[in-house]
């Protein structure tokens, strides 16, 4: 209950109150500034688009100069660490837990919770899914509509379903 009162409810309230504002530089900065105190930690100059969802925001740690476009969804069931200068395209999902099967159903299977890390200067293009336990290195580009289920080394392009390393960016 303590985490709900300290993090969840105020953050959802801030996002609810600011979602009607357009996504321009002034309101992206305002939304980020108002949301930052309700995250696990946050660097300077966070910019957040509309319709963002944060679950368990106390486990979400964001660096400086991060941009999160419209419609992203973050599930902080375990720790999510986002480095400095990371860019998220629209409608991506970052989930630090995965479902498991129990008695032939995924509905009541116990979740697997593992931390996620995204390195400095990376770009997560639109409509991507990043699953529990993944470590994305520095300067990585994840191609649009990719499902990242395995680690991606520094300075590489990865894409596909499931995402595979395509080439080096150096």
Residues involved in catalysis:
99
Is 170:135 a contact under the CB 8 Å cutoff?
no
Residue 159, classified by CB atoms within 10 Å of its CB into exposed (0-12), middle (13-18) or buried (19+), is buried
Q: Would you say the C-alpha torsion 76, 37, 11, 52 has a positive or negative sign?
A: negative
The CA–CA distances, whole Å, from 98 to 33, 106, 143 equal 30, 10, 22
Radius of gyration, alpha carbons of the chain: 16
CA distance 88 to 170: 21
Q: Would you say the C-alpha torsion 121, 10, 92, 163 has a positive or negative sign?
A: positive
């Amino acid at each position: 209950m303590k985490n709900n009162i300290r993090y969840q409810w105020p953050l959802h309230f801030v996002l609810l109150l600011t979602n009607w504002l357009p996504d321009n530089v002034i309101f992206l900065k305002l939304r980020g500034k108002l949301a930052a105190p309700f995250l696990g930690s946050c660097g300077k100059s966070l910019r957040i688009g509309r319709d963002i969802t944060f679950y368990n925001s106390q486990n979400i740690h964001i660096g400086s100069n991060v941009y999160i476009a419209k419609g992203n969804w973050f599930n902080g069931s375990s720790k999510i660490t986002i480095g400095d200068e990371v860019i998220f395209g629209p409608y991506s999902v970052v989930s630090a837990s995965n479902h498991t099967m129990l008695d032939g159903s995924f509905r009541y299977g116990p979740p697997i919770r593992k931390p996620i890390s995204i390195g400095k200067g990376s770009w997560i293009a639109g409509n991507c899914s990043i699953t529990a336990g993944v470590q994305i290195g520095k300067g990585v580009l994840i191609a649009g509509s990719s499902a990242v289920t395995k680690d991606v080394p520094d300075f590489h392009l990865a894409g596909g379903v499931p995402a595979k390393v395509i080439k080096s960016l150096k």
